[in-house]
Amino acid sequence: MSPRNSVAESHRTRQRIVERGIAIASADGLEGLTLGRLATDLDMSKAGVLGHFGTKEVLQLATLEGAAAAFSRLVWEPVAHKEPGLPRLRAVFETWISYLATERDTFPGGCLITTASVEFDSRPGAVRDAVARLLHTWRRRLAGEVGAAVRAGDLPPDTDPEQVAYEIVGMYMALNQELQLFAAPSAVARTRRAIDRLLRSP
């Protein structure tokens, strides 16, 4: 095998590990992401899995980054071309709902980043910092879209974009809980009604 092919194969194997890690951690948490489980699921040795990351923490961080990339691909990228502000914000809300309600191939246990935010919220360290960074980045993006809607006259001029983004994130964390914990069939409709109240036009 040529060096180039070897590097490509190593990259593919690493990607397979991360993808399987996302699925496991979505259901069992990042602490449930064990070398033994991954090795069994992927028909690899524990040493083979560890060789791609070095430590469990590095594996957890790579899994988080992979989950964030999947979230962006499923929620943001399909609507990124839409007009900034309320049109794109509402489109994001629909892809976000779809992600939480129907995306089970990548995230069989629901949103991994939401799960990790609860699992690591009181545990200082690199994983907690990474979760916080990802959530802050997403909240800033939402606030930016709310601000664009205010400037376009689609929302009242006294709207606080940071406050709206805060409330939106809370709604979707509640939606994830309603879907995962209670399997509530009314959760999506309730979320849409809450969003409509929050985004009343001037």
Beta-carbon-side half-sphere exposure of residue 20 (alpha carbons within 13 Å) = 19
Instruction: Quote the DSSP letter at residue 83.
Output: P
Supply the pLDDT for residue 6.
79
The predicted pLDDT at position 146 comes to 97
Q: List, in order of start, the domains of the chain with CATH numbers.
A: 56-198 (1.10.357.10)
Question: 10 Å Cβ neighbour count for 122?
Answer: 7
The amino acid at 68 = A
Within the chain, which residues score under 50 in pLDDT? none
Please enumerate in sequence order all residues whose Cβ is within 8 A of that of 38, keeping only pairs 6 or more positions apart, or say none: 17, 20, 21, 24, 44, 49
pLDDT at site 202:
58
pLDDT at 4: 60
Q: Output the pTM of the full model.
A: 0.92
pLDDT of residue 87: 95
pLDDT at 66: 97
pLDDT of residue 7: 83
pLDDT of residue 75: 97
User: 113: closest CA among 84, 75, 82?
Assistant: 75
Contact at 8 Å (CB) between 70 and 26?
no
